[in-house]
């Protein structure tokens, strides 16, 4: 197309040259040259100033392993200075008898089925037609689980505004919500999240990206936790939400949009737990990696207690770097967030962002350990404590 328009332009520039002289021809060429690529604003660290760059420079940065947030549409995002509300984070688990049946009901059957289908889309890239198809399939599964309940809703969080803007995209984020039984806590909430998109770093739009581990594993981990809670009649005191974000691989785009909307609405997020890569065991024994950098310290201490109480494997402490996943969007706005990963960061799956990120390298029993922790997190933090 570009080639065609270039050659058409050259022909018309040439005829302008012939008819009106060299200046008119230069004018036509300038029109072509000034259609510059859209720039994105990229932030690499808490204390480093963001930089403007083209989409292809941003993709090259991703391939080079630099972690970032694309803050083009979220330039003023920061913790609110008006709110004096601070959440109470417990130190120890207390609701074992409520949590245990939900955990006892977990199985790997649904996870196998869901991950098999999720990885069959060519990719789940946020801007590709495949990514738009995969999110429509995903929401149907989640709606199917919630069907027949009157206190659980499932909604699309759209990233496409009505007027077709170039920067919008078709893959929506998904939000499933348990209403709270205590109406005084209606404005508060607990969030369990994962990202639904995948990417082939060499060819984002068309390349094969099964994204089995990144983050198909987290996606099905939290679907299974959600299923067990719904089917066994979970009734939280304060609202609990499950989020499946779009556009994480492009710089936490979906979670920045959702968290900023919640901040604008004045919602009080008590705690957020991200599940990004929960399927690969690695060479150094089966553990749950608890991320300790760029997270809330108190909530992370509580997460250690949750793993001790509700998982059947130990945790190891690890680091993932700036803007490693969607928990960072919540933390940036001042909300407590925490993050579990499949292993120590150095032992994690090296096939991510390629066609090699496939199911055969993963363990569903390992994923199930993370579903247990997610259930512990949702139930324990849904209660009002003094």
Q: 353-373: b or e for each residue (b if 16 or more CB lie within 10 Å)?
A: bbeebbbeebbbebbbbbbbb
Number of residues that bind ligand BES (CB under 6 A): 19
Residue 190 CA: distances (Å) to CA of 45, 48, 202, 242, 249: 26, 31, 36, 9, 24
- Which residue of 103, 323, 374, 378 would you call a contact of ligand BES, by CB under 6 A? 323
* Residues in the chain, overall count: 386
- Least separation in angstroms between residue 321's CB and ligand BES is 7
Tell me the window of 65-73, 108-116, 129-137, 176-184 that interacts with ligand BES (CB under 6 A): 65-73
Binding to Zn ion by residue 213, rule CB under 5 A? no
Q: Which is nearer to Zn ion, 247 or 336 (CB)?
A: 247
Site stretch for ligand BES (CB under 6 A), options 229-237, 264-272, 341-349, 373-381: 341-349
Residue 98 to residue 283: CA distance in whole angstroms: 35
Does 248 interact with ligand BES (rule: CB under 6 A)?
yes
How many whole angstroms separate alpha carbon 346 and alpha carbon 122?
28
Query: Which residue is it, tokens 């991510």?
Result: 352
Stretch that binds Zn ion, among 211-219, 286-294, 310-318, 342-350 (CB under 5 A): 211-219
Query: Given candidates 188, 214, 241, 357, which one binds ligand BES under the rule CB under 6 A?
Result: 214
Q: Is residue 68 within the footprint of ligand BES (CB under 6 A)? A: yes
In sequence order, the β-bridge partners of residue 183 are: none
Q: Considering the rule CB under 6 A, would residue 290 count as an interface residue with ligand BES? A: no
Out of 274, 325, 337, 371, the residue judged to bind ligand BES by CB under 6 A: 325
Q: What is the DSSP string of 310-322?
A: H-SS-EEEE---T
309 vs 349 by CB, closer to Zn ion: 349
DSSP three-state, residue 196: coil
- Binding flag, residue 67, ligand BES (CB under 6 A): yes
Contacts of 316 (CB under 8 A, 6+ apart): 287, 288, 289, 290, 343, 344
247 binds ligand BES (CB under 6 A): no
One of 214, 296, 342, 369 touching Zn ion (CB under 5 A): 214
CA proximity to 211, closest of 225, 222, 224, 201: 201
CA Rg value for the chain: 23
Only segment of 3-11, 221-229, 249-257, 258-266 that touches Zn ion (CB under 5 A): 249-257
* Other CB atoms within 10 Å distance of the CB of residue 179: 16
**32 phi and psi, to 5 degrees?**
-65, -45
Closest CB to Zn ion among residues 269, 320:
320
Compute the least distance from the CB of residue 338 to ligand BES, in Å: 14
Q: Does 42 bind ligand BES (CB under 6 A)?
A: no
Query: CB under 5 to 8 A by kind: which of ligand BES, Zn ion, none does 357 bind?
Result: none
Among 224, 214, 20, residue whose Cα is nearest residue 114: 224
Cβ distance to ligand BES smaller for residue 127 or 177: 127
Interface residue with ligand BES, options 13, 185, 320, 367 (CB under 6 A): 320
What is the distance between the alpha carbons of residues 73 and 70, in angstroms, rounded to a whole number? 8
d(CA 226, CA 276): 16
Pick the piece of the chain touching ligand BES (CB under 6 A) from 79-87, 246-254, 292-300, 373-381.
246-254
- The arrangement of strands across the sheet holding 39-43 comes to 51-54, 39-43, 69-70
Contact segment (CB under 6 A) with ligand BES among 31-39, 180-188, 247-255, 357-365 equals 247-255
CA distance 243 to 252: 13
Contacts to Zn ion by CB under 5 A: 214, 249
Contacts to ligand BES by CB under 6 A: 62, 65, 67-68, 214-215, 248-249, 251-252, 276-277, 320, 323-325, 341, 345, 348
């Amino acid at each position: 197309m570009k080639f065609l328009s270039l050659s058409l332009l050259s022909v018309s520039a040439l005829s302008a040259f012939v008819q009106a002289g060299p200046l008119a021809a230069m004018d036509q060429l300038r029109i072509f040259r000034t259609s510059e690529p859209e720039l994105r604003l990229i932030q690499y660290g808490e204390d480093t100033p963001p930089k403007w760059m083209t989409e292809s420079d941003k993709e090259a940065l991703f391939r080079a392993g630099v972690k970032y947030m694309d803050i083009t549409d979220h330039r003023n995002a920061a913790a609110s200075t008006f709110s004096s509300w601070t959440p109470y984070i417990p130190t120890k688990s207390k609701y074992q008898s409520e949590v245990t049946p939900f955990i006892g009901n977990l199985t790997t059957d649904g996870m196998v089925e869901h991950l098999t289908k999720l990885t069959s889309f060519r990719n789940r890239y946020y801007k590709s037609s495949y990514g738009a198809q995969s999110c429509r399939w995903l929401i149907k599964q989640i709606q199917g689980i919630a069907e027949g309940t009157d206190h659980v809703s499932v909604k699309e969080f759209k990233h496409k505004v009505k007027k077709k803007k170039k920067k919008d995209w078709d893959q929506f984020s998904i939000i499933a919500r348990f209403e709270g039984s205590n109406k005084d806590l209606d404005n508060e909430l607990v969030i369990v999240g994962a990202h639904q998109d995948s990417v082939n770093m060499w060819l984002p739009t068309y390349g094969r990206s099964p994204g089995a581990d990144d983050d198909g594993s987290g996606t099905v981990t939290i679907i299974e936790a959600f299923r067990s809670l719904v089917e066994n009649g979970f009734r939280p005191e304060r609202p609990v939400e499950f989020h499946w974000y779009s556009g994480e691989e492009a710089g936490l785009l979906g979670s920045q949009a959702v968290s900023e909307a919640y901040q604008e609405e004045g919602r009080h997020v008590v705690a957020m737990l991200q599940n990004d890569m929960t399927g690969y065991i690695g060479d150094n024994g089966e553990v749950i990696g608890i991320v300790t950098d760029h997270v809330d310290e108190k909530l992370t201490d509580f997460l250690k207690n949750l793993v001790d109480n509700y998982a059947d494997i130990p945790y190891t402490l690890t680091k993932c770097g700036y803007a490693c996943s969607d928990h960072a969007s919540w933390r940036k706005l001042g909300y407590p967030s925490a993050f579990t990963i499949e292993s120590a960061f150095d032992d994690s799956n090296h096939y991510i962002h390629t066609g090699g990120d496939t199911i055969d390298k993963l363990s569903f029993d390992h994923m199930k350990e993370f579903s247990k922790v997610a259930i512990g997190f949702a139930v324990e933090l849904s209660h009002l404590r003094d």
